Amino acid sequence: ERVCDEAVIDVMKMFTRSSKIKSVQIPSISNITMTHKDGVMKDPYNLRKINNLAYHYLREGQHEMALNVLMRGWKRAGEITDEIIRLRFLMKVCEITDE
């Protein structure tokens, strides 16, 4: 059990950032991101749509926008049935959250 605890700590150390992630300056979001944003506006409690919108924000370098979207669903992460997807969702929230 101690080995598992140490392995988790090692993984956390490897993926911890020492500086804040900066968003890329873009004139506007892409059409596909806008489509996903509209989907979240129509169904704001759908975790899949929230996750997909955050993904597209991250692809465009909009880390703060992605974090804002992910924070809508982090308390409800327990509703994500697939454990791997839930872990990735929560790890992404941790990754882009600045201290």
pLDDT tens digit string along 9-55? 676 666 665 566 666 677 788 899 999 999 999 999 999 999 999 99
What does pTM read for this prediction?
Answer: 0.72
Tell me how far the alpha carbon of residue 35 is from its chain's centroid: 18
- The b/e string for 16-42 (b: 16+ C-beta within 10 A; e otherwise) is eeeeeeebeeeeebeeebeebbebbee
pLDDT tens digit string along 68-92?
999 998 889 999 999 998 888 988 8
Backbone angles phi and psi of 82, in degrees to 5: -80, 120
Quick count: other Cβ atoms within 10 Å of Cβ 8?
10
